[in-house]
Amino acid sequence: MKRNTLRRAAPAWPALGRKWLLACVAAPLLGADAAHAADLDSMKAEALENVGSRSKLVREIMDSLFSFAEPGFQEFETQRYLCGILEDHGFKVGRGVAGMPSAWVATWGSGKPVISLGTDVDALLGMSQKPGFAGEAPLVEGAPGHGEGHNSGMAAILPAALAVKELMEKHKLPGTLHIWPGIAEELLGGKAHYVRAGVFKDVDVVLFAHVGSSLSTWWGDHRGKALVSVEYRFEGESAHAGGAPWKGRSALDAVELMNIGWNYRREHLRPQHRSHYVITEGGGQPNVVPHRAAVWYYFRETDYDQVMYLWDIANRIAEGAAKMTDTRVSWRVLGSAWPRYMNRALAGALHANIQQVGMPRWTEEDQALARAVQRIVEAGDQGLVTKTSSKLEGVERIPDGLKHEGGSDDIGDVCWTVPTGHLSLPCNIPGVTMHHWSAAIAMATPIAHKGAEAGAKVYALTILDLLAKPEIVRESREFFDNVQGRIRAYTSFLRPDDKPPVWLNHDLMQRLRPAMRPLHFAPSKHSSYLDQLGISYPSLTPAGNSSPAK
């Protein structure tokens, strides 16, 4: 009986042994995971300290780029300054990338993952503005200024990259940091050329920063527009406009007829579309029939096919205008942008770190400036955002009929080339109108400094996540291939012979640089640009006034 009992009980031993063996095997693995998590938490704590120790660098980058205020394709002081910082810290820098003399790419490290960090750096024409001054007050009349706050992104990216580089060296972490500027974003002129030149060929993920008024991210589809930027150039014959006008063929007449034709066609285009133009050349004086004239168009729609449809209509209208005036027409692409689409896995990583970092702590002075500016632009007086959103916003597809937002950004070309995450930096005032002097007021003040430092911390933590958690990089690629990739494949608007229009803004800056250069920020002499300019913070203005309040 005992023997039979033993025989019946015997199978229980292997079962118990298997459980014990699994427990023995699992325990070290679970311990390793816990240790790995603890190591990552420890590194993140170090990263936050490292970024915090670079607060002065954040301020210097922010204020320096604000003072340079260089428009698209002329970002040479910006290039010199930022590349100098990176080279001093061991980065390898290539200049003149993708046929753009002011472009550059900086790399450090080796192996995978290759983490690319990008942000725009160009200023806007006519947006010169004193910082911290609640009223319209150009630093240099007619000069460019940061009326969208493109001086903020590098103030977040570089301190974050340097903080993480220090940790990668200390802990011998493999991976490559890859940094680049958005050249001529306000002209939608740079990123499609980066893509075509293979700048992102070996990149695993892109983290892109842009100015905003909250610390936030999002994923998926966007309500904005794709775009192609085209200049139409007409050629005719000159003649004395009073003595023998019949001998002339007016290129300006052709431009005007094209514009008339397009404006009549607008009524019969989809409500989602946007289009705008400026005449870039129209003759020298009235008594000479213009033998050359040009008009520059932006055509915006919700996707590639719809933009190409608009472009084809415009080409045919241009050809018709040329036939009516017996002139010749050609056209060239000056810029382009695909619609934006952000990666869910990268947004998730960014969002988690946004929750950890939180919004900056604003002072009463910060809030007072914000409210004063909001009153001037009639945007209420709610002040600065104080809390991050706990909800991660995003949707795979927005119905085409709901895409009525008119803006475009050439980060779209990057989004459709490599998995891309977007971080909004809380550097500006809620309610200000972009491409307006009011949007420049905060951009070299403690508001912008604190916002960029918060963004730098989120960036540093997220880079560490990507280095330590390969599953995030893998999931970002799976989303890119299997969700975003099902929508359509990327096709550039650029034609094979289209080159970056690097001549744009050249003559303007040749004329303005002598007046702007003495106002460049001198961080060795001053603690801030406000200090250098002698502006008390904040300088407040009552609504409806353009002079500071007494």
DSSP string of 304-331, one letter each residue: HHHHHHHHHHHHHHHHHHHHHHT-EEEE
Q: Please report which confidence band the pLDDT of residue 13 belongs to, taking 50, 70 and 90 as the band edges.
A: very low
Place of tokens 């795979």: 396
Q: Can you give the pLDDT at residue 404?
A: 85
**End-to-end CA, the chain:** 106
Side chain identity at residue 462, one-letter code: T
Q: pLDDT, tens digit, for every residue of 351-378?
A: 999 999 999 999 999 999 999 999 999 9
CATH class of 226-337: alpha beta
Residue 81 predicted with pLDDT over 90: yes
Give the start-to-end residue ranges of the domains of the chain. Answer: 47-222+349-391+419-487+522-533, 226-337
Per DSSP, 417 falls in state: T
Which of 83, 84, 74, 346 is CA-nearest to residue 204? 346
- Topology of 47-222+349-391+419-487+522-533 in CATH? Aminopeptidase (3.40.630)
Q: Are 456 and 156 spatial neighbours (Cβ–Cβ below 8 Å)? A: yes
For residue 241, count other CB atoms closer than 10 A to its CB: 16
Q: Can you give the pLDDT at residue 542?
A: 52
Which of 286, 285, 230 is CA-nearest to residue 258? 230
Percent of the chain topping pLDDT 70: 91
Q: Can you give the pLDDT at residue 32?
A: 52
Q: Can you give the pLDDT at residue 28?
A: 45
Q: Which H or E element spans position 420?
A: strand 420-426
Q: Report the pLDDT averaged over residues 169-182.
A: 97
Where are the extended beta strands (E) located within 113-266? Answer: 114-120, 175-182, 205-212, 218-221, 226-235
Q: Which residues lie below 8 Å from residue 123, measured CB to CB, with a gap of 6+?
A: 68, 69, 70, 71, 144, 145, 146, 147, 150, 151, 186
For residue 127, count other CB atoms closer than 10 A to its CB: 22
Q: Are 380 and 374 spatial neighbours (Cβ–Cβ below 8 Å)? A: yes
Look at residue 440 and give its three-state secondary structure: helix
Q: Which residues lie below 8 Å from residue 260, measured CB to CB, with a gap of 6+?
A: none
Q: Are 530 and 444 spatial neighbours (Cβ–Cβ below 8 Å)? A: yes
Look at residue 412 and give its three-state secondary structure: helix
Residue 14 predicted with pLDDT over 50: no
Residue 439 predicted with pLDDT over 90: yes
Which of 342, 357, 355, 348 is CA-nearest to residue 471? 348
Q: pLDDT, tens digit, for every residue of 461-509?
A: 999 999 999 999 999 999 999 999 999 999 999 999 999 999 999 999 9
Residue 440 predicted with pLDDT over 70: yes
Burial string for 29-47 (b: 16+ CB within 10 Å, else e) reads eeeeeeeeeeebeebbebb
Side chain identity at residue 459, one-letter code: Y
Distances from the Cα of 91 to the Cαs of 170, 197, 424, 495, 521, in angstroms?
Answer: 17, 21, 26, 33, 24
How far apart (Å, rounded) are the C-alpha atoms in residues 226 and 231? Answer: 17
Distances from the Cα of 362 to the Cαs of 174, 359, 438, in angstroms?
Answer: 37, 9, 19
Q: Please report which confidence band the pLDDT of residue 405 belongs to, taking 50, 70 and 90 as the band edges.
A: confident
How far apart (Å, rounded) are the C-alpha atoms in residues 103 and 397? Answer: 33
Q: pLDDT, tens digit, for every residue of 111-154?
A: 999 999 999 999 999 999 999 999 999 999 999 999 999 999 99
Which of 266, 419, 243 is CA-nearest to residue 343? 419
Q: pLDDT, tens digit, for every residue of 266-315?
A: 999 999 999 999 999 999 999 999 999 999 999 999 999 999 999 999 99
How far apart (Å, rounded) are the C-alpha atoms in residues 541 and 372? Answer: 7
Q: Are 428 and 369 spatial neighbours (Cβ–Cβ below 8 Å)? A: no
Q: Can you give the pLDDT at residue 406?
A: 84
Report the Cα 313 to chain-centroid distance in Å.
30
Q: Of the ranges 16-30, 277-291, 376-390, which one carries the lowest mean pLDDT score?
A: 16-30
Beta bridge partners of 395: 220
